[in-house]
Each structure stands twice: as C-alpha cells, then as structure tokens.
Structure 1
Amino acid sequence: MVANQTSFLPFDRATRCLTAILLALAGAVLAGCGGSGGGKGGAPDVKTVTIASIAYPYQGQQVFSGLTSVVLEQGWLKEQLAKKGVELVFQPVSTAVGGPLINEGFSGKRIDFAAYGDFPAAIAVAGGVPLKIVAPVGQGQDVYLVVRKGLAANSLADLKGKRIALHRGRPWELPFSKLVDRSGLKLDDFKIVNINPGATPAALESGSVDAAVLLSDGLLLDQKGIARVIWSTRDAPADWRMRAELFGRQDFVDAHPDLTQLVVNAYVRAATWSSDEANKAEVIRKAARGAMPEAVVERDYANSDIAWRERFSPIFSPALRTHYHSVADYALQRGLIRNKVDADALLDERFVTQALKDLKLEGFWAQPAPGQR
C-alpha cells in the first residue's frame, strides 16, 4: 500500500498482478486529468477533478460505497464543477487493491481525492506523498475478531499459539495490535497468517487458520456459522475503530481551494442526507449492494453508543486526532514506514468549517468541548 519504493508493504503475487493491471487501466482513463492555464498563484487550471473510492461489483456494474455513492447520485458536485468548466470523474477501486492503487494514483497525480483508509494514507505520506484529510466521513468502522467453528476460545488469550489470519498493513491491524498490547501479549505469541479477507472464509472452514481479524465480513461469517465473533472494537475506546476519510493531494488542495471546497461541500451534503433517520433504510440498502446482506449491515450499524446522526459526522473530533496519532506511532514502531508522520499536519479543518457555514449546518452535529479540539 505504497506510493514510494522505500515504503512497500508485503502483499501476495496475485494482488501485485491485479494492481499492475488496474494501474495500467487507471493511467489510460485518467491521462487527461491535467489541464493548462493559470490557477491560484500561477498553478495550472484543471479540466478534471478525480475522486477514487472503494467500489463493488453489483448487477453488472461497479457501485461505490459510503458517502461517495451519495455524492454521485445527488449530482450536485458534478453540476457545480461543470459551471467552472471542470469534469468530475469517479474512479472505482477494488477492495483487494484499494490502498496500493490509490497511493499510486496520488503519487502519479492521476487522482486528486480519495475516500479510503487510515493506514494506507499514512504510508503514502511517510513515502513522500503529502496528503490532507479534508473531511472525516464518520465515526469509523468496527473491527471483529472471529474464531473458526468448533474452536473453544472466548478471548484473545485463548488463541495464544494459534494461527490468526491478519492481512498485514491494512487498517484493521491497528485495533488488533492494541488489543494484543492491552491483553499483555505480543504478536509473536500468535502465528500470524498474512492473507486477504477474500481468502479467509475458506481458510477458516478448512482449519488452515484458527481465527481472523476482519471488518463486517466477520459478522457475515458468524451469520453463516463459519466462525464466531469473540471480540470487537465495540468493547474498546472510540479511537480504536478503523477509519476512512476524504483525503486530498496537498498540492492540488493548496493550488485549488475553490474546487476543494466544492468537493468537501458535496461530501458534507451527503453526510447530512445520510444522517437523517428517514433515510436509514436507504443508507443500509446502499451499503449492502455487492458487499454484504442487509441484515449484516444492519447488525454492524446496531451500536447504541453512537446516535445515527453522529455516525456520519464530518467534525474533526478528539477521537479522530487521537486515532491518527496512534496510526502514525504504530506504523513507525512496527517498521511499516521509515519516516515519522506528523498526524496534526494531516488534518485540514478549514474546508469542513466553511462547508458547515455554507450549508447552514453549524450545530447540526455534536461539536468537541472547549479545549478538546
């Protein structure tokens, strides 16, 4: 999941091949992103704004996840950019190669924004690709620890010496490592098997692994009787959840704040729509397209500690700040990056602040208490 030859993370040969194919396709599609003329401070004008986001195959097409799907369907951003003579392009990215492909796109300046995970973004920044979080996209996703059917284990300690499937360098590695530390254990106490989530169900069923660290697909395996959930980040502090945000390429953000503001306004508008209880069923339906059954998505959302509206809050909260400090520290300590990431420098609050004013949403979501920002 890298953007620099000094920061590569290990991933399997199939993933490397798929990444190369997708990069070639992405390069062909996005070759016309740059423009000419005079932007802010003499920066070139742009003809295209490109946003990359995770997408899933559904009914013969690629459908986007989360707020990106809402932004696309609302059409507001496309209309606003068109008024400036700028085309909007959404770049679908498979979950199998999400981090690597997006980081390569940022590095090659083929994409301008991406809604993706915390770890890959930190790795890109450490590798010399300056990024900014221009809008948080909610309160994060829960991570689940599951054990294979028939295994008598009810805690992490019961898995000592066992084989645990963990796709290394992915966002869910951080909460798992925190659980290991809190339990007074270390990664060497387990046999970590580095496989992607798509291969995990078969590994659990065959007994090749005893447990796995997953996102909501852990609930799906639980529902199917393949595995059993024994822990999740619902039993942990809020900053343990896996996070994804809207990241912008810093040089683009600095050169084109007007276009960046339109993009952020669109995501805040999408967050407002998603935050409405009246749209809850539709939000769940969208999240289930091509990924999970609606019952699993609904179960994943069923967390009484977070009000529905707050799930989609774009506010830069103390938990978000703590989380990115943890990501930066962990990645450096574990040797996943070679250069320290300044977590505070990642955060660029000005666009969300303006979006809340533009859309008259000040006070719509809970604000950090004084002194907590």
Structure 2
Amino acid sequence: MGAAALIAVVALLAFPFRGGGAASAPKTVTIAGIAYPFEGKQAFNGLTGVVIREGWLKAELAKRGVALAFTPVPTAVGGPLINEGFSGKRIDFASYGDFPAIIAISGGVPLRLVTPVGQGQHSYLVVRNGLAANSIAELKGKRIALHRGRPWELPFSKLLDASGLKQSDFKIVNINPAATPAALASGSIDAAFLLSDGLLLEQKGAGRVIWSTKQAPADWRMRAELFGRGDFVDANPELTQLVVDAYVRAAAWSAQDANRDRVIKDSSRGSMPVEIIARDYANDGIPWRERFSPTFTRDVIAHYRSVADYAFARGLVRNKIDVDALIDQRFVAPALRDARLEGFWSPTTPVQAQASAAKAS
C-alpha cells in the first residue's frame, strides 16, 4: 500500500464521518493532535495534553450540550493525516505544524490560525558515524533523509538556500523519522534532517549533530499552532472562543517556572527521554515563559507571510496563500482578558542574538 493510500485509510479510522449539515448546531467539538502510545493509552503532545488533563473545556462545552472529542494522530503521518481530517470536515481544530497547514490551505482547506503557541521548535542535521562532514555543503551529492511535506522541510530548504545549494545537489530520501535510525545505522543514508529525534540519534551513538536552527535566524524554527476549520470557526464563534480560552489557560500553566519539570516530563511520554527534551530547550536564549506565548506578535504574522511566500516561490505549494485570511485574531485577546493574563507575556517576540545564515551553514 502506498503512502497516500495508507494516509487515506488511517484518516477514515481516525476521523469517522460525523454526518449532519453545515447549518446544524454541532453536537461535538473534535480536536486532533499528535499523540504517542503510553502506558496503554494515547498521550497527547503539548498544550492539548494539558487541556485534556484540566478538563475545563470539556466541562464548559457540556454546559452547552456539546461533547468534546480528542483524536490522536501518529507522528509518522501527522500533518497529512490532519489535513485529511480538515478536508473531510471530520475535525474542527488541530494543533500541528505551520508547513502542513500551508499545504492544506493551498489545497483549498479554509484554515484559520486561532492561537499561536510560543517561539517555534528546533531542527537538527545529523550525519552518520564515520562521515567527516561538518556542514551541509560537505554533504553535497550525499543521501539525506527528509520526510517531505513535514514542518521541518522548510528550515532544511532555507539552510540550502543560505548555503547556495538546492535539493537536486543531494539524493533526498523520503522516509519518516521512525525509519531513520535503521537507515543511518545501515549506511543507506548519509545524513538526516529531523526535529529533536536528531538529538536522540546522537545520544544513542547512531550519528552526530552538525547543525541546528539554534545557529540560525529565529524565523527558521518551525511553528506549531492551534488551527481551526474556517467554516466551523465562523459558524460557531462562541465554541471557538471556549477552545481558545482553554489553550490560553494551558499555555499559562505551562509557562510557570514551577511547572517546568512537569512540562518536560509530560513532553517525554512515549516519545523522547526527559534529557532529550531538556537539551532541545537548552541554549537557545528563549525565556521559559515566552516558549508558550499565545500572542499574535508581528513576528508571528511575519513568519506566516514568510512561510507562505517561500513555499510558493520554491514550488512547495501550487497556490499562493492569503495570510490575512489565515490569521484570525478575534479570540486570543478576549481569552487573555477573561483569564486576567493581559501583560503576562511580552507583547513582542524577544530579539535573539542569532548567527548569520551564511555562518550557520
């Protein structure tokens, strides 16, 4: 079975058809998110896990006669599967990456970014043991594993551009992160571009990290936000506000220094060791509180303009995205006000001292 067929089958299993016309009042709000098997259950990643544990959103929706459903999505098929769910109107919201969302919008799915989350996630370039390369330029002609269509494809492309290279200068192998360790160990690939999986490979002695977005401009970091299906958001602003309220509350809890250890521990469930999560967060100059900021800063909006323009210019999407239609700022400000969180986060993204792109490459 091909990858596209597999995603379609999993989508039907994960997001069963709910029925009902567009005009009918929703009986259920469905939120999708990346999740991992853990102790016989599905452990949701990031703020979605906090929202589930707190139970506030479930209780508030129940007062209005609306149920709440969380749909776990395996990381191996994360973005494409979530896009299938949005396209088929089987999910209403999802917490996932910037690039898959741009792909969905380019394909005609009217998504809205309703809640930003933090300052982005890092990507890592790992080379196999025994390979002397110390930069992307030294990998020219080599086999690099890159899971196409996933959020980290954008920072990889930006690294190539900054280095005066293009994807055709390499033999790109399209495999998911779970298959990468074996491919690296067998020598069937020479390098891999990953998220924190790259740090795990290095910890296990399977390879060596030679570059990360910690060395690059802040805009190179992939972002994961809370997106809503446009027709649902417009038809149900009260329910959307409750969802945003819950994610803002979860962000505030996660941003507390006292909860740092719990956040790191929860982030490691079923996926990464605690020390890898801590290392991923370390040495990038981002204050802990700001990692979870849900505010619409100029940097957030500029990031999506940059991603949309870049993806279209490089032929990564077929249609240019209207970022003004994507950004929906109606809900975060009321959520901050009602939770008495105005001023809790900086109004602008902290300026990071970054190496130049040329030096980073």
TM-score range, shorter chain: over 0.9
User: Distance in 2 between the 1:174 and 1:119 partners?
Assistant: 7
Among residues 101, 118, 125, which one is paired with 1:138 in the alignment?
118
- Match of 2:30, SS state, is strand
Give the 5 Å matches for 1:137-216: 137-216=117-196
TM norm structure 1: 0.90
Gaps (5+ residues) in structure 2?
Answer: 350-361
Is contact 2:116-2:226 (8 Å) kept? yes
Determine if the alignment matches structure 1 residue 31 to structure 2 residue 15: no
User: Distance in 2 between the 1:350 and 1:368 partners?
Assistant: 18
TM norm structure 2: 0.93
- 1:22 corresponds in structure 2 to 10
Determine if the alignment matches structure 1 residue 113 to structure 2 residue 93: yes
User: Distance in 1 between the 2:219 and 2:288 partners?
Assistant: 18
User: Distance in 2 between the 1:355 and 1:264 partners?
Assistant: 7
Note the C-alpha offset of 1:120: 1.1
- 1:270 corresponds in structure 2 to 250
- 1:241 corresponds in structure 2 to 221
**Runs of 4+ more than 4 Å apart:** none
Gaps (5+ residues) in structure 1?
Answer: 1-12, 37-42
- Match of 1:350, SS state, is coil
- 1:315 corresponds in structure 2 to 295
- Match of 1:354, SS state, is helix
- 1:368 corresponds in structure 2 to 348
- 1:224 corresponds in structure 2 to 204
Give the 5 Å matches for 1:73-152: 73-152=53-132
- 2:236 corresponds in structure 1 to 256
Note the C-alpha offset of 1:77: 0.2
Note the C-alpha offset of 1:303: 3.0
Q: How many residues align?
A: 349
Partner amino acid, structure 2, of 1:249: R
CA deviations 1:144-188 (Å, max 9, x no partner) are 011111110111111111111111121101111111111122222
Is contact 1:35-1:46 (8 Å) kept? no
Give the 5 Å matches for 1:320-359: 320-359=300-339
Partner amino acid, structure 1, of 2:94: A
Partner amino acid, structure 1, of 2:314: R
User: Distance in 2 between the 1:14 and 1:272 partners?
Assistant: 42
Determine if the alignment matches structure 1 residue 69 to structure 2 residue 49: yes
- Match of 1:314, SS state, is coil
Is contact 2:214-2:284 (8 Å) kept? no
User: Distance in 2 between the 1:63 and 1:35 partners?
Assistant: 32
- 1:279 corresponds in structure 2 to 259
Note the C-alpha offset of 1:318: 2.5
Is contact 2:15-2:71 (8 Å) kept? no
Q: CA RMSD in A?
A: 1.5
User: Distance in 2 between the 1:35 and 1:168 partners?
Assistant: 35
CA deviations 1:306-354 (Å, max 9, x no partner) are 0000000001123222221222122222333221101232111120011
Note the C-alpha offset of 1:304: 4.4
